[in-house]
Amino acid sequence: MINRSGLRIFLIILCIILPSTLLGKELNQFSQIAIQHGGRKKPLTVFAREILLSLSGRDSIKTLEGEKVGSTDFVLSLWFHPEGWERQPVILVDNPLLRKDIGIDPAKKLFSFQQLKENNLFKDFVVKHLHRPEAEGSSLNSEEKEAMAVSGRLKLFEELYSGEIFHVIPNPLDPNKKWVTIENATQYYPQGLSESLLVIFDSMKRAYLQGNFSKAQEEASFFSKQLKDYAPRVYPPNDSLLFEHAYTVLNPWKWTLICYGIASLIFLLSRGWQPELGYRIGWGFAVFGFLFHVYGFVCRILIAGRPPVSNMYESVVWVSFGVMFFALVFETIYHSRFFLMAACPFAAICMMLVDSQPLIFDPTIQPLVPVLRNNFWLTIHVLTITLSYAAFALALGLSHIYLWNTSKNAAMGGFQKGLLAKYIYRSLQIGVFLLAAGTILGGVWANYSWGRFWDWDPKETWALITLLCYLAVLHGRIAHWWGEFGLAVGSVLCFLSVLMAWYGVNFVLGKGLHSYGFGSGGLGYVLLYVFLEISFVAYCLLKYRLRKKEQQNPPPSPIQV
């Protein structure tokens, strides 16, 4: 259980950081109603946002009448009066090939439940592609995965429409029992208490449908208070519900993105104009962004009760945190500007991805699968591995700066290039150390959980490949097989192995014992990134070779002519 005094302190800090008007827009008594969904208890408002993101990929929708509806209003309307919503475009079909195959408008992405449910081409597609024996896991192509996702969204909408998803009535005696809907309250409570709850619910429903929102909120507060009185040992305390609601509404990751993005622009634009002033301002925004980052992590840890690294969403946020942590530490020591220039754009891109792609990076807080329910191993293995990715990402950013300045022959002396190469080397050393330690610790955990130290699981194999790639780069530098330029090129290319171990195994291969981290989507963006990186390295290599050739065969001077 979250400590109440700690929650109050965090809520006070939260209100100081951002204007109270931001909270006032969404803060209502419906957040005090808890609902059991996805293996845990959460505020109704948080549940509403997660549901709408799952259905449509966004936290608000526009109806056929042109009205913009927020997530809380959407879910309450379906709960209280679902009629008519089956004709509203709220279900996402993201894959254009699937839209074409089932004969729906290829220019649109949102469709109604009725439109998809009555689509015979979609039914035939599901029967043909998803009901075959081998249709599971990585054997599905992108269309089939999208069809499976759309089928899940249709099922979710049916549960909303029927009301069977609204498990708001707890068992007063057993916290582990499944909650039930208001219509089934008699399963856990005497007839009199059940009727009392139903009267309050009907009053709340009537006030909401009549547009009397203040009255509806009063009834919602009374409804939650009655449930707390009936099940005091089971129902979540107000502070916990309010804390999670505030975290969701404020969305600290969005403010982290804004600060890192501004810092990146300042560092970029101030290189040739007021560099000292720009450096100080950029430092300030980077620190503010990092504080929001820390705040978001603390909130998520308090809500989930575990380290936030159980899925791709949380690992991307954690890696961007690690990049900024390393950059701020090194920048404090060396005052070189390069670390923050390298780290801020990477962190900003990571935060932009998790904020704009909720269907690829699921932001919901889910219970851990059984193999991960050990905070000690989860902390020392997963955090160590992903921190190594952060160190490699910092080396990647520094290498980009080195290669770009080398290819453009910018006004950067050999001393600065030497410093950059030194920083790249130090970052790679930290990454190799963390990755080696994390891989060994993972083997120990695997022996503890699965009874074997190593089994050539795809995740294990690619972690080893990544480690060997970076060891080869470092060893080649020590053995003088290549110099500073080769070190930078190797750092950029080796990060592709990190991408495969981090994203490819989970989202492309989709095989192995690490199935709890699997997902789908985003392959096009990743392939574009790989193409751009290889093109960038090829361009820099070409420019480097041409410059070396010019230095070996300089043109004759005018006096010689």
Pick the closest to residue 404 from 272, 546, 536, 494 (CA basis).
536
User: Which uninterrupted H or E stretch holds 110?
Assistant: strand 110-112
- Alpha-carbon distance of 368 to 449, in angstroms, equals 14
Neighbours of 280 (CB within 10 A): 12
Per-residue pLDDT of the chain (561 residues; tens, 9 = 90+): 445 455 445 544 554 454 443 444 444 789 999 999 988 899 999 999 999 999 998 888 998 888 899 999 999 999 999 999 999 999 999 888 888 888 898 889 999 999 999 888 888 888 877 765 555 545 677 788 888 889 999 999 999 999 999 999 999 988 888 999 999 999 999 988 999 999 999 999 999 999 888 899 999 999 999 999 999 889 999 888 989 998 988 889 999 999 999 999 998 888 766 778 888 899 999 999 999 999 998 998 888 888 777 788 888 999 999 999 999 999 999 888 899 999 999 999 999 998 888 888 888 888 776 656 665 766 788 889 999 999 999 999 999 999 988 887 644 556 577 889 899 999 999 999 999 998 888 777 777 766 677 777 788 888 899 999 999 999 998 888 888 899 999 999 999 999 998 888 877 776 655 555 566 667 888 899 999 999 999 999 888 888 777 766 666 655 554
Residue 368 φ then ψ, to 5°: -75, 145
pLDDT of residue 336: 83
pLDDT of residue 517: 56
Supply 37's token pair.
């969904």
Neighbours of 430 (CB within 10 A): 18
Q: Average per-residue pLDDT in the chain?
A: 84
- Alpha-carbon distance of 157 to 159, in angstroms, equals 5
How many angstroms separate the Cα of 431 from the Cα of each of 136, 344, 350, 386?
35, 18, 19, 9
Pick the closest to residue 457 from 469, 473, 445, 475 (CA basis).
445
User: Positive or negative, the Cα torsion across 508, 509, 515, 517?
Assistant: negative
Supply 416's token pair.
């600065």
Amino acid at 329: V
Specify whether the backbone of 39 is left (phi greater than 0), alpha (psi in -120 to 50) or beta.
left
- Alpha-carbon distance of 302 to 131, in angstroms, equals 41
Specify whether the backbone of 150 is left (phi greater than 0), alpha (psi in -120 to 50) or beta.
alpha
- Alpha-carbon distance of 364 to 50, in angstroms, equals 7
Pick the closest to residue 347 from 339, 358, 359 (CA basis).
339
Q: pTM of the prediction?
A: 0.84
Q: Are 300 and 252 in contact (CB under 8 A)?
A: no
What is the percent of the chain with per-residue pLDDT over 90, rounded to a whole number? 44
pLDDT in tens, 502-559: 888 877 776 655 555 566 667 888 899 999 999 999 999 888 888 777 766 666 655 5
pLDDT of residue 524: 80
Q: Are 107 and 89 in contact (CB under 8 A)?
A: no
Give Cβ neighbours of residue 109 (< 8 Å, ≥ 6 apart).
57, 92, 93, 94
pLDDT of residue 271: 73
Q: Are 537 and 403 in contact (CB under 8 A)?
A: yes
User: Which uninterrupted H or E stretch holds 548?
Assistant: helix 523-552
pLDDT of residue 433: 95
- Alpha-carbon distance of 65 to 368, in angstroms, equals 41
Pick the closest to residue 336 from 432, 227, 424, 238 (CA basis).
424
- Alpha-carbon distance of 387 to 326, in angstroms, equals 9
